[in-house]
Amino acid sequence: MTSRTWTTVWLLIIIMPLLLSGCTPGESADKADGKTLHLPMVTNGPKTLDPVQGSTHYENVAASQVYETLLQYKYLVRPYELEPLLLTEMPTVSEDGLEYRFKLKEGVHFHDDPCFSGGKGREIKAEDVIYSWKRMADQTQNPKSWWLFEKTIVGFDEYHEEQKARTDQDLPFEYDKPVEGLEILSDYEFKVKLTEPVTRFLWVLAMFQTAVVPREAVEMYGDRFARHPVGTGPFTLSEDEWLINQGMTFRKNLNYHKCFYPEEHMPEDEELGLTKAAGTPLPIADTLKISFFVEPQPMWLKFQAGQLDFTTVPAEYFKRAYYKRNKQLRPEWKEAGATSEPVPLLDFIFIGFNMEDELVGGYTPEKKALRQAISLAIDHEEMNKSFYEGINQVYDGPIPPGLAGYPENGRAPHSYRGRDVSRARAKLAEAGYPNGEGLPPIDYYTMRSGVNQEVFEMLSRQLKEIGIELKMNLVDFGTLITNVNNKKAAMFSFAWGSDYPDGENNLALFYGPYESPGSNHYNYKNAEYDKLYEKIRSMPPSPERDVIYVQMRDMLLEDVPYIGSMARTRFYLINPKLKNIKAAEVFSNWYKYLDIDPNAPPLSID
């Protein structure tokens, strides 16, 4: 699961020339680093690279460079399709959809590391896959995504509960105890039995949380394993090259297994130059340097100076690069050799309510009326125009554009999306707070930044008009997620990027058993909704399933556990020296395909 917040604390860039040479420190180092990618990450950095502990987009991006999953997305193919990564072929599935057989590629080795005998990475085996998945059930590992396997594999839930009871008694976790639905057939083959057909199962096997890790590294490094990754991926990362609040430097895995730039592509890819590298061994780059940016200005300035190979375009800089009306790149950028790639996101930007909060939570008519009043008072169109240059799509429901369950033209037949001040006031009176009388200030949590301060001021102004006062809590991302996971935030701003292209992923965010610290940050609990969710889990795509998606969407619109929604289009600006980029945000392991043209003219924009 990828959770992301809105933009983020002005920083100052200082670019100092070396007095004795004519190059910057980065340029000098790059000569020794070979082909070097310079890429941004709009955050102060991931908190962990342990796959079972990761949950954010930033952790996905970083972890996907060093760890690998059984399956991956085809790089150039749209709509998205899966293909083998650590497997020789796609798994075979029984006719009833309950049994999957997997065969691992031979000759795939973990990174060289002192945790192995002689420091040489050993070959991965089927037992590594089972061990890695079992870590999802181990509470001592602080797993964030048990929900991916919950009610999925025969005997796994019972194993989870049994081991949790042992943990509660300070007894060791039994990794070697068998699970009925996880059967090792040989060093390279294993079988998985499901409790019922689960449509998302294969999508889950392409998510970084299910990546394969070596037991030796987990046991040797303990808590340090979060910062000492040992995987099979195309790049390696040493602890001393992960600089807190600054960046990470990844190095080419010289023992990477046989993977090649794909030949399968879309018709338009040839004209875009994306097919020339077909058959090239991966990864192509020698070094990957990721810089952290808490605020967009330093990232923007570094890209303008040609020091980043791409940048995502912050909303506040959109008009500097594009014509607002047609979203075409301005001439000065084209003349400098820059290109642009818009990437529509499977995006769900929202303001959430904690349904267990004494003030804003609850399911009585009065409690629902309070949330409905707040929703009706907030103007997402103003937010879109003020902070996103009007380029986002505002819509009803949690299912983003392009997926089944998204309402036609973004509007559901019945919702409480504002702005409608008169209805908001009427609902506030229904809640027992006429004109806001007797209503205490409501705690609102968001990530600390200048932009989020302005968003809060807009929300505060809109709500004050009907008599509601917000209490602002501007915090860093770690504090935000901690308060949400601990059910301490009454209202909070967040964004969710779909883990895979199916509306079921977004509907799962409101499934009762996934309550915080799981993905149900709203702690929404509705027995009827849960029953429908359990039904769609095993349904293949069909008109019947689409009808249920709409039914579930409309239940959420009535209960209002969140206010929203918006979906972004991410605009990538690309340095002319960067090759092979087809940006995506549903998956994050595509840096291995990127290349650098050392003969390209340098990008420089005044």
**Tell me, what CATH number does 390's domain have?**
3.10.105.10
pLDDT given at position 20? 33
Residue 511 falls within a domain, yes or no? yes
Locate 51 and state its tokens.
Answer: 């796959």
Q: Which domain does 484 fall in, by range?
A: 347-567
pLDDT given at position 15? 33
Number of domains within the chain: 1
Rounded to 10 degrees, the C-alpha dihedral 473/476/478/484 comes to: 20
pLDDT given at position 14? 31
Residue 194 falls within a domain, yes or no? no
Average pLDDT, the chain: 92
Q: What is the pTM of this model?
A: 0.85
- DSSP alpha helices (H): ranges in 71-115? none
29-36 long-range contacts, Cβ below 8 Å, gap at least 24? 30/287, 33/286, 33/287, 33/289, 34/252, 34/285, 34/286, 34/287, 35/284, 35/285, 35/286, 35/287, 35/595, 35/596, 35/598, 36/285, 36/286, 36/287, 36/288, 36/289, 36/596
CA Rg value for the chain:
24
Residue 551 falls within a domain, yes or no? yes
Q: Is the dihedral of CA 400, 403, 405, 408 positive or negative?
A: positive
Residue 260 falls within a domain, yes or no? no
pLDDT given at position 32? 64
pLDDT (tens digit per residue) in 275-304: 999 999 999 999 999 999 988 899 999 999
Residue 487 falls within a domain, yes or no? yes
pLDDT given at position 156? 99
Residue 248 falls within a domain, yes or no? no
Residues of the chain with pLDDT under 50: 1-28
Residue 338 falls within a domain, yes or no? no
Q: Rounded to an integer, what distance in angstroms lies between the CA atom of residue 357 and that of residue 350? A: 18
CA 25 to chain centre: 32
Residue 61 falls within a domain, yes or no? no
